[in-house]
Amino acid sequence: MSTEPITRKLMLYFPECETEKPIVYHLVKDYDLIINIFRARVTPEEEGYLVLDVTGTEEHILQGTEFIRSLGIRIDAVNKGLAWDENKCAQCGSCVPHCPTNALSIPDRNTMEIVFNTEECIECLSCIKVCPFAAVSSLF
């Protein structure tokens, strides 16, 4: 396995019982991962969500995610905290100037089609405020 650091975006879903463990602490201390939290909602006695980037070697990320799973926390690798509905999107592009990371972008200025790259999304939610068609929504 490569020792080059890589970055993965993860969305964690905490069932009600798992919200009290200091997960981020263990990811940093035990697995040497750099953590960048985009958005979190972790309330005692309720389900919780955490969307973050983890940076480290592939091996450490694997071990770290195994540790997270061992606590009964679900990792959603496909869905992130922000969803873009291609069918609801009318391709107007009013979101694009408001997206700070180019996660929502128009790569081809001839066709002017909107593309959403979830890996680039830092979940600032700016697009939700400006989308006239409710095509972007927050999962939490």
Partner 1 sequence: MKNIEQINDKISSGKAVVLTAEEVIDYVDKKGLDQAAREVDVVTTATFGPMCSSGCFLNFGHSKPKMRMTEAWLDDVSTYAGVAAVDLFLGATQLQANDPANRDYPGDFRFGGGHVMEKLVAGEEVQLFALSYGTDEYPLKELRTTFTINDLNQCIMVNPRNCYQNYNVAVNTSDRPIHTYLGYLKPQMKNCGYSSAGQLSPLLNDPFYRTIGVGTRVWLAGAQGHVYSEGTQHSPTCERGHLGVPSEGAGTLALTGDMKKMLPEFVRGVSLKGYGVSLSVGVGIPIPILDEQMLLQTTVRDRDIMAQVIDYSTDYPERTGRVLGSVSYEELKSGSIMLDGKKIEAGGLSSYSKARKIAGILQEEIRSGQFLLTRPIAPLPLEQSMKPLKEASS
Query: Which residues sit at the interface with partner 1, rule CB under 8 A?
Result: 90-98, 106, 109, 111-114, 129-130, 132-134
- Look at residues 50, 60, 51, 74 and name the one whose alpha carbon lies nearest to residue 26: 60
Min CB(105)–partner 1 separation in Å: 9
The residue among 51 and 114 lying less far from partner 1, judged by its C-beta, is 114
**Residue 125 CA: distances (Å) to CA of 87, 104, 112, 120, 138:** 19, 12, 22, 13, 8
Min CB(111)–partner 1 separation in Å: 6
The residue among 22 and 132 lying less far from partner 1, judged by its C-beta, is 132
Six-digit token pair at 122?
């830092």
The residue among 27 and 114 lying less far from partner 1, judged by its C-beta, is 114
The residue among 10 and 95 lying less far from partner 1, judged by its C-beta, is 95
Min CB(135)–partner 1 separation in Å: 10
Secondary-structure breakdown of the chain: helix, strand, coil percentages, each rounded to the nearest 5: 25, 30, 45
